[in-house]
Amino acid sequence: MSTNSLKKVSLAAGAAGVMAQTASTALGQGVDGLIAGIKSSSDKVRTEAWLGAGKAGAPAVKPLAKVMTDNDLEVARAAKRALWKIVRYTGRPGANQERRAVETELVRLLGDDQPVAVRREVLWMLSEIGARRSIEAVAGLLKNEELREDARMSLERIPNRRALAALKAGFEAAPEDFKPNIAQSLRKRGEEVAGYPCKKLVPTKKTDVKPL
């Protein structure tokens, strides 16, 4: 099989996917069209919708977040994937303005009015594209028992001084049971932390299975 024929076969097989990537945005359906596609009962339509969501940008963030908790798990999953598409598209080089607009919308989803599952996903999205405007809201969740570990990891990944400062402040304010976690993030960011040595090699879970 020649190089060209191999490539043709592969490309033809992937053609549907490639077309889908551009379908919904090319049709200019806007956010309403996107959401309608995401809510479709057709696997094909839903997939085309989320694959084409990238360019929908900031205006689609809040509406998609709403659908992320839809009772139909495939619809909810498509909304989540659409939101990730937006994050990945707006994080591209040279798209700072778009990225900031999406970041702003994502930060708004970190409030107590949003379900934990949505906020957890948003924390990871911000870990990829978050910058200075994310820090305060993410750091605020270091006090939330359900989300503090994801907030810590999100801050660990955001490579600016504010994130580091937020981790330091979070460490000082953290309850004893959470200090080792933040200490780990601080070490990853090049800080030396006294009093909370790494516990990664300490076994904690015994088995009740007996040897033969």
Partner 1 sequence: MKKSNKLNRREFLAAAGAAAVSMPYLIPSGVLAGPRRIGANEKITVAHIGVGGMGGHHLRDMINRRKKGQVNIAAVCDIDKNRLVNALKTAGPGVEPYHDYRYILQRKDIDAVVIATPDHWHGVQTVHAAECGKHVYVEKPACCTIEEGKAMVAAAKENNVSVQVGSQGRSQPEAYLAHRYLVNGNIGHVSRVDCFHYPSPEDNNPVPDSNPPAELDWDMWLGPLHWRPYNQRYCHGVFRWLLESGGGQIRDRGAHVMSCAMWWMGADGTGPVTVEATGTAPKKGLWDSAVLMDVTYTFKNPDWVLTWRQMPNNKLPKAEERTGKEPGGKISRPGYGAIYRGDKGEFIHWGGDGGTWAEKKARQWELPAGGKDVYKSPGHKEDWFKGIKTGAKTIMNIEAAAGVANLCVLGNLSYILGRKLEWDQANQTIVGDRQAQRMMSRPQRHPYHL
Residues 74-113 contacting partner 1, CB under 8 A? 74, 77, 81, 88-89, 91-93
Query: Does 136 contact partner 1 by CB under 8 A?
Result: no
Query: Does 206 contact partner 1 by CB under 8 A?
Result: yes
Query: Does 200 contact partner 1 by CB under 8 A?
Result: yes
Per DSSP, 30 falls in state H
* Least CB distance to partner 1 at residue 45 (A): 10
Query: Does 175 contact partner 1 by CB under 8 A?
Result: no
Query: Does 150 contact partner 1 by CB under 8 A?
Result: yes
Query: Does 55 contact partner 1 by CB under 8 A?
Result: no
* Least CB distance to partner 1 at residue 31 (A): 20
Query: Does 43 contact partner 1 by CB under 8 A?
Result: yes
Handedness of CA 148, 136, 66, 114 (dihedral sign): positive
How far apart (Å, rounded) are the C-alpha atoms in residues 98 and 202?
Answer: 44
When the beta carbons of 24 and 154 are compared against partner 1, the nearer one is 154
* Least CB distance to partner 1 at residue 90 (A): 9
Query: Does 132 contact partner 1 by CB under 8 A?
Result: no
| Residue 63: closest CA among 10, 108, 7 | 108
How far apart (Å, rounded) are the C-alpha atoms in residues 132 and 36?
Answer: 33
Out of 129, 135, 142, 163, point to the residue binding partner 1 (CB under 8 A).
Answer: 129
Spatial CB neighbours of 156, under 8 Å, sequence gap ≥ 6: 127, 163, 167, 185, 188, 189
Query: Does 211 contact partner 1 by CB under 8 A?
Result: yes
Angle value at C-alpha 67, between 62 and 70, nearest 5 degrees: 155
| Residue 125: closest CA among 187, 36, 35, 65 | 65
| Residue 102: closest CA among 86, 84, 80 | 86
Query: Does 209 contact partner 1 by CB under 8 A?
Result: yes
Query: Does 24 contact partner 1 by CB under 8 A?
Result: no
Span near partner 1 by CB under 8 A; candidates 27-35, 58-66, 134-142, 144-152: 144-152
